[in-house]
Amino acid sequence: MSDSGTSETGPSESPSSGGALHGRWREALLAARGGTGHGPDPDPYAENLLDRWAEPQRRYHTTTHLTQVLDRVDTLAGHAADPDLVRLAVWFHDAVYRPDRSENEERSAALAELALPEAGLPDAATAEVARLVRLTVTHDPAPGDTNGEVLCDADLAILAAAPKEYAAYAAQVREEYGFVPDDAFTEGRAAVLRQLLELPRLFRTPHGAAEWESRARQNLTTELELLTH
* Percent of the chain's residues with pLDDT above 70: 91
Rounded to the nearest integer, the mean pLDDT of the chain is 91
Res. 20 pLDDT band, cuts 50 70 90: confident
Query: What pLDDT was estimated at residue 36?
Result: 66
pTM: 0.90
d(CA 93, CA 225): 30
Backbone dihedral angles phi then psi of residue 31, each to the nearest 5 degrees? -65, -40
Closest CA to 134 of 113, 115, 154, 120: 113
Query: What pLDDT was estimated at residue 16?
Result: 35
Under DSSP, is residue 163 helix (H, G, I), strand (E, B) or coil? helix
Res. 10 pLDDT band, cuts 50 70 90: very low
Query: What pLDDT was estimated at residue 229?
Result: 86
* Residue type for position 124: A
For the chain, the first-to-last Cα distance in angstroms comes to 42
d(CA 55, CA 96): 10
**For residue range 194-217, what is the model confidence (pLDDT) as tens digits?**
999 999 999 999 999 999 999 999
Length of the chain: 229
Backbone dihedral angles phi then psi of residue 172, each to the nearest 5 degrees? -65, -40
Query: What pLDDT was estimated at residue 37?
Result: 67
**For residue range 32-69, what is the model confidence (pLDDT) as tens digits?**
998 766 789 999 999 999 999 999 999 999 999 999 99
Backbone dihedral angles phi then psi of residue 82, each to the nearest 5 degrees? -140, 75
**For residue range 169-182, what is the model confidence (pLDDT) as tens digits?**
999 999 999 999 99
